Amino acid sequence: KYADRVFRQTDTKMTAEFADRLTDSMKRIEGITDPKQLQRAIMNKAGQMPEWAYQSMSKKTAEQLQDIAMAQVLMDISNEVPKSAWRKVSSIQAMSHLINIKTAARNILGNLSFSAAEKLANTVAVPIDIIASKFTGKRSLTTPQFKDTFKAGLDQARDSAFDAALGIDRTGINKGKYNVPIGGTFKKGSIGSSFEKIMSYELNVPDEFFKGQIYSDVLQQQMKMAGVTEPTADMIDYANYRAKYATFQDDSLPARILQGFKDVLNLAGGGEFKKGKSGIKTHEFGLGDFLIKYTTVPGNLISRSLEYTPAGLAKILTIANDAKLSNAVKQSEITMTIGRALTGTSMIGFAALLNRLGLLISEDKDRGKNAQALDQAEGLGNYKVNVTALERMLNGEDTKPQSGDLLQSYNWIEPLGVLLAIGAEVDKQISDKDKNAPTALFNIGNAAMEEVLDLPTLSV
């Protein structure tokens, strides 16, 4: 009945043969409790598997193996639902954008740098939490926890890699909600399916590693402050939220705005006409895919860029008025918001100093178009680090920019790169005595926006 409902939502009908096969699979899963038998059933269905996946499966409990077998059945349903040519075009477009070394490195380094920033903000927030506890009577944060967090991240990454190897998705099952996953676009064994698997290894596995680390850290902090050995549902939910926040996977306002913009643009498109992620009825592929293909990560990068500046303090009002949050979560979020704003502001000040020393370089916007084009041809452009000048500084030499200096872009550490751009522009505006405050603020905001728009996913 459940599978039939999924098929009807796509205006297709499930065949009797598939219904019988589905029923047999479910009976077999429910009837097996022995881990060895479950392993054999999973292997028979999965076909060829990497050796490490076999070894990983041998360490799982009967309950975990049943989840895997259930995920295989749910993926069968997803794969049986016909995929339109429009969705295939959309998937091919995404693969052409994302399957490359540069994207993989950007994803890992971006997660790594922002995870470090979150831990630093967490440390800065602890004294604020101590002060808040004088009024609330409770602590909500400790310094970042490191015990077993690396292992937790590794375990989560390994599970993600295992799912990619078998072509399944246990996300819904782990949450106790047996929802049919979106699934692959191309049939199992096809070239398209192989590329989808590569993309999953490239993007999902590193994300899950960082999510696992942060989840473990935040959960340990909450349990330590509450003096409990077992986490509550609220603690688990908050740890999940913080893990998504740190890996740019939460549902921020800029991300929702970009998604709404994309869904409106996709009205000029084709394929299935249904409710999009923003709630607007739209086509599954269209003009929006060419102009703003990705919405969640770019939108969240914009959000984080704001939250790590003094402007981020405005978020406190939203947190304080959110009736859904418990008092402990509110206190934790408010102190983290202050910690992030202070950390980001310190980074802006540090960037201003680097710019003054000549270690940050950018093109001169006041020059003519031809001069700016020449600057870009020589490696200038949006804000970059002068690597050669940095080496000279370490040797006690002059750091002023010189002909032949090597410049390296730092937009791969977004959103922290935005803070560096803001700091460099702050120094430039301070140095320019003729600029008034409104013009200076406009130029600083413009520098931040240019850095964000320099991202490959937003450059269009």
pLDDT in tens, 3-24: 888 888 778 888 899 999 898 8
> On the CB side of 73, how many CA atoms lie within 13 Å of its CA?
24
Q: What is the Cα–Cα distance from 185 to 79, expressed in whole angstroms?
A: 8
DSSP 359: -
Residue pLDDT, tens place only, 292-338: 898 998 899 899 999 999 999 999 999 999 988 889 899 999 999 99
Give the single-character DSSP code of 361: E
By C-alpha distance, which of 435, 436, 427, 378 is closest to 447? 427
Element (H, E) at 444: helix 437-453
Spell out a b/e string for 68-102, using b for 16 or more CB atoms within 10 Å of the CB, else e.
bbbbbbbbbbbbbeebbebbebbbeebbeebeeee
pLDDT at 186: 85
Cβ 266 vs Cβ 281: under 8 Å: no
- Give the per-residue pLDDT at 286: 94
Q: Which residue shows structure tokens 């999940």?
A: 240
Residue 384 is classified by DSSP as E
**Host H or E run for residue 447:** helix 437-453
pTM: 0.88
For the chain, helix (H) and strand (E) counts, in that order, are: 21, 5
- Using the structure block, give the residue that is written with the tokens 């490490």: 52
Q: What is the DSSP string of 385-443?
A: EEHHHHHHHHTT---S--TT--EEE-GGGTTHHHHHHHHHHHHHHHH-TT--HHHHHHH
pLDDT < 70 stretches in the chain:
172-183, 363-367, 379-382, 456-457, 459-460
412 token code pair: 């791969």
Mean of all residue pLDDT scores within the chain: 88
Question: What residues have CB less than 8 Å from 190, skipping those under 6 apart?
Answer: none
Q: Is 78 left (phi over 0), alpha (psi -120 to 50) or beta?
A: alpha
Q: Look at residue 206 and give its three-state secondary structure.
A: helix
CB 67, CB 175: distance < 8 Å = no
Residue 204 DSSP symbol:
I
Residue 185 pLDDT:
85
Q: What is the pLDDT of residue 175?
A: 46
Note the pLDDT of residue 205. Answer: 93
Compute how many other C-beta atoms are within 10 angstroms of the C-beta atom of residue 398: 11
Do residues 12 and 82 touch, judged by C-beta distance below 8 A? yes
**Closest listed residue to residue 407, CA positions, set 456, 351, 360, 355:** 360
Residue 172, burial from CB neighbour count under 10 angstroms (0-12, 13-18, 19+): middle
* Cross-strand pairs, 274: 282
